[in-house]
Amino acid sequence: MMLTGLGAYSQKYKTVEDTARLNREYVKVTNDIAELNAKLAIAQNNLPGYKSKAIEAGTDADNAANKSVDQAYKVTNGDVGDARKAKRKARKAYREAKDSRSASNNLSNQESIITKLTLQINRKEQRLKELEVMRLAIAAKFTL
């Protein structure tokens, strides 16, 4: 008997007079869930684009690095022109590596956003369940 009373005692909305506030919070939480679901859908739809950009940037960085290494080998037996080409290719490889890192960071940020939104949705859904329990408890008191 005390265990059932403990759940009812700990709830925020207990009386019929609290029904309006409960309903307002219920609507607010429902709207928040809908908004978070929309944001989650957008983030999930953007994720494949971030993945493909990260893969492409990584491939470009690898290719540029390989070309830079090849050009550097030519410099050992070459002239000043070969050294300049090697320097240009090294700079390009560096820029491509930075782009690859940036694309990788963008991908991890997007995955982090998806995780964060999913957690927020779960919390809001839990609150919605708690509000539903409170609503049923008030209804049970009202019918008695």
Q: Is the pLDDT of residue 44 over 80?
A: yes
**Number of independent structural domains in the chain:** 1
Question: Residue 9 has what pLDDT?
Answer: 47
Confidence of residue 2 (pLDDT cuts 50, 70, 90): very low
DSSP-derived 3-state class of residue 124? helix
Over residues 99-126, the pLDDT tens digits come to: 999 999 999 999 999 999 999 999 999 9
CATH of the domain at 96: 1.10.287
Q: Is the pLDDT of residue 4 over 50?
A: no
Q: Is the pLDDT of residue 68 over 80?
A: yes
Q: Give the domain extent around 34.
A: 2-143
Confidence of residue 144 (pLDDT cuts 50, 70, 90): low
Q: 3-state SS of 10-49?
A: HCCCCCHHHHHHHHHHHHHHHHHHHHHHHHHHHHHHHHHH
* Structure-token match 């759940």, residue found: 7
Output phi, psi for 70, to 5 deg: -60, -45
